[in-house]
Amino acid sequence: MIYIQKKMNRETYDAISKLGNPSLIAEKLKEYDADFREAYRKFGNALRNKAYRDKNKDEINKARNIKRNALKPIINNKDEITSQFIDDIDTNVKPDYNNNLPIKQLTPSTILTYKNTIKRIYKLYKNKDLNDDNDILKFLDGKNKRQYSIMRIKKDFKFIIENSKDIAEKHFNSINILYSIFSRLEYGMKDIKNALYPYVMAKNKYYQDNRHKIICNQDAIDNISFDTDNVMKNIDKIDNPYDKLLFALLFLLPTRRIHDYRYTKIAYKKSQIDIKDFNWYFQGKIFINNTKNKKSIVLDLPKPIIDLINNLPDDTDFILGKFYSESTLSNKFVAITKIATGFPFTATDIRKLYSTYNYKKGGNYCDLIENANKQGHSLIENLKYVIKTDI
């Protein structure tokens, strides 16, 4: 008799596989139809592949990173975070600063990053999802102090104190975010801050020590030019009018963070530019209000960019066609640079290359200050973006 069973799950698979002997398993499978036997085979392959990946994940990830890096025009060749690195951190260092910027003044993308990070860490160490009405999420939503409990937050996240070293070793990039969250709570978080702070300082030092350890693919760099004629030739390779504009904004102006253009809309009357939640294009200028360093600036646009904006569809609201998430727009820019230059440059790559290009171009102190300001940097920060390459 042939049984027909289309759905395969772990319980069904185990009931057959526990027979152990391949011949017994084959005999048992004859009782089922061809679709079931194929589902059994695929389910078994999936389980074996998962077991292999779990066992060899470090080697797999390393090989994957090597493959990815081979395609990148600029690689940060930073030191590996090892157990020894974590062990050598002085855990007696005590906090000497808090993140005092109110939650309500953070950008929506920053809040989303905070929430995703706290949810992920909570689930990893508590083995359950963080409830949507948890007090820490109420705090991150900017709720009134009477609407969340400091005592419940301390209780829910006590595990951070007990696991701070493990978190630092396995989730090094999340350390600063966690500290940023808990140091914004005005009181009651001393033990959590004390546990995280030494690793925060170690991470900051690690970043500064490694940010200049750059390997450049000079063949790729040779395809980058900030000369207007060359930029326009590359723009001609791009079809979508919004993509053309994004490329132009990062190549024909001092290269700002891509975030600034994500929030830029077209103002059809002057009064709109006073709405500070957005950045605005109006009559040949971009008015920057919403930016990481909180410093407003007005950018005078060159004619090629104005022409591209004038050729956008009449119903354009956001200057890039719509509002993008930060990650989506970053990935989109990489795809655009691949089309235009032949290599997948990130927006940060272009900021580094423009800073390098401008530094080598020279100019007096005031020129360097002005250009750094247009990039959304202090001069010191701007110089940290300069890399060793020919451009």
DSSP string, 343-383: S---HHHHHHHHHHHHHHH---HHHHHHHHHHTT--HHHHH
H/E element, 80: none
| pLDDT at residue 61, rounded to an integer | 65
Q: What string of DSSP letters covers 60-126?
A: HHHHHHHHHHHH-SEEE-PPP--HHHHHTS-TT--------S-GGGS-HHHHHHHHHHHHHHHHHHH
3-class DSSP state of 127: coil
Task: Give me the residue label for tokens 């235009």.
Answer: 340
Q: What pLDDT score does 371 carry? A: 83
Euclidean distance between CA atoms 64 and 135, whole angstroms: 38
The span from the CA of 174 to the CA of 357, in Å, is 33
* Reported pTM: 0.64
The four Cα atoms 340, 289, 204, 152 give a dihedral, to 10 degrees, of -120
Give CA–CA dist 370/366, Å, rounded.
6
Give the closest residue to 95 by CA, choosing from 174, 190, 163: 190
Other Cβ atoms less than 10 A from the Cβ of 159: the count is 17
Residue 295 CA neighbour count, 13 Å, CB half: 12
Q: Show the CA angle centred on residue 243, arms to residues 297 and 307, nearest 5°.
A: 65
* Residue indicated by tokens 């030019």: 225
Is residue 237 within 8 A of residue 340, CB to CB? The reply is yes
- Would you state the pLDDT for residue 336? 97
Closest CA to 299 of 385, 371, 212, 388: 371
Q: Is 223 left (phi over 0), alpha (psi -120 to 50) or beta?
A: alpha
- 218-384, CATH topology level: hpI Integrase; Chain A (1.10.443)
Amino acid 20: pLDDT: 86
Residue type, 14: D
Start-to-end CA span in the chain (Å)? 74
Contact 272, 280 (CB under 8 A): yes
Closest CA to 297 of 371, 213, 385, 188: 371
pLDDT tens sequence for the chain (391 residues): 455 555 788 888 988 898 888 888 888 888 888 888 888 999 989 888 888 877 777 666 666 655 555 567 876 666 666 667 777 888 888 877 666 677 877 878 789 999 999 999 999 999 999 999 999 999 999 998 889 999 999 999 999 999 999 998 888 889 999 999 998 887 888 999 999 999 888 888 887 777 777 777 888 888 899 999 999 999 999 999 999 999 999 999 999 999 899 999 999 999 999 998 899 999 999 999 888 777 889 999 999 999 999 999 999 999 999 999 888 999 999 999 999 999 999 999 999 999 888 888 877 788 888 888 888 888 888 878 887 766 6
Residue 32 is given by DSSP the state B
- Where does the chain hold its CATH 1.10.443 domain(s)? 218-384
